[in-house]
Structure 1
Amino acid sequence: MTSPQEEPLPPLSEDDRETALRRLQEAYAEERVSHEEMDERLDQVLTAQTSSQLASALASLPREQPGTTSTITAAGGRIQRRGTWRVPRNLKIGSAYGRVRLDLSRAIIEHPVVDIELRLGVGGARITVPHDAVVDVEGLRTEWKDLRYKTPRHPRSGGLKIRISGTMGFGRLRIRHAWR
């Protein structure tokens, strides 16, 4: 029989591990940890068995700010954001049927890296990004139509980084840079 002090800790949930991995990736993207430190911490997160082991892997990372993730979903119709609007660190967009229009050119963006996750069934998406933004679409999978995005001739480094991931069913994603 075990005493109350010796009760085994509950196993680490996959949600806890995924949250830790996301925080670690964000810290790396924001250059808060070096490549070598990222490798070490990644190994710690993946092999952690308890929440205390997981916490030690994230010890010096900044706490995740509340309100840094927003989700916009619609069964049908249009999802549209334009003009002056506050862009969260993580933006998740889901739509079964309909179009998505995001204009980030005049938006308030307070983070050096913005992740946009698209989960679209039928319908296309158009995203306008700031002139000097760097766009990464490596995490995006398209099912039916191709992606329309031309990287700028003279890309700038050190500016805003926008990572687009997720899946597009029967629609096309068009990404363009604002003129200024």
Structure 2
Amino acid sequence: MTSMPQDMSPRISDDHRDTAIERLQEAFAEGYINREEMDERLQVALTAKTHGDLVPVLESLPDKDTGPTVAIEALGGRIQRRGGWRVPRTFKIKSEYGKVELDLSQAIIEYPVIDIELRLPYGWARIVLPRDATVDYEGLSAEWKQPVYKARRRGSTGGPHIRISGAMEYGRLKIRHRGR
């Protein structure tokens, strides 16, 4: 009989580790952590294999300058992000009649919390989350159909927390984890 691995989190890339190391170095340079703490966290970051491994390394650090909020607005058509795209800290999307597809499962996520604001008067959206992510869509008002969320079967935590807010009049939203 074989046993299942304990952590089903998706593996991270060298880019994820490099981003975590840069944040640690910035925090040290700005005086948020001392040399000993930086060395300990660097060791964990260098050997991290999943997003969950990086969370304790970065969670107590202040957010770095996130720059401007990324906002996309479309009357119709498709707004799509997938693959290794860099997820902004705050993402505002308005699609009057179109389709929004956000696949965060392989994206580069640098922040422990991601805010996604959706405005879908008649459009629809599908969001694919990393396996270890948590989601909160309490801030999303829906007039016609409630969002559909397919929760993960076996949960591992420690990944990014995705907060979805905004408004859907006659629009629809489906949320699922990678692999579902």
TM score, norm. by length of structure 2: 0.61
Gapped runs of 5+ residues in structure 1?
A: 1-60
- Structure 1, 147-156 or 126-135: larger mean CA deviation: 147-156
- Flag the 1:63–1:175 CA change in 2: closer, same or farther, 3 A: closer
- Flag the 1:150–1:63 CA change in 2: closer, same or farther, 3 A: closer
- Structure 1, 167-176 or 63-72: larger mean CA deviation: 63-72
How far, CA to CA, are the matches of 2:128 and 2:122 in structure 1? Answer: 20
**Which residue is equivalent to 1:139?**
139
**Which residue is equivalent to 1:166?**
166
Q: Which runs of 4+ in 1 moved over 4 A?
A: 61-64
2:89 maps to a residue whose letter is R
For the pair shown, the structure with the greater C-alpha radius of gyration is 1
Residues 62-104 of structure 1: CA distance to partner in whole angstroms, max 9, x if unpaired? 5761425211111221111111111000000011111111111
Percent of aligned pairs with the same amino acid: 62
- Flag the 1:106–1:97 CA change in 2: closer, same or farther, 3 A: same
**Which residue is equivalent to 2:71?**
71
Work out the number of aligned pairs and report it. Answer: 121
Contact 2:150 2:177 in 1 (8 A): no
- Flag the 1:66–1:178 CA change in 2: closer, same or farther, 3 A: closer
Secondary structure of 1:79's counterpart equals strand
Larger RCO, structures 1/2 (Cα 8 Å, 6+ apart): 2
In the alignment, structure 1 residue 85 sits paired with structure 2 residue 99: no
Alignment RMSD (CA, Å): 2.2
The correspondence of residues 77-116 of structure 1 with structure 2, limited to 5 A, is 77-116=77-116
In the alignment, structure 1 residue 150 sits paired with structure 2 residue 165: no
TM score, norm. by length of structure 1: 0.61
- Flag the 1:67–1:146 CA change in 2: closer, same or farther, 3 A: same
Contact 2:66 2:89 in 1 (8 A): no
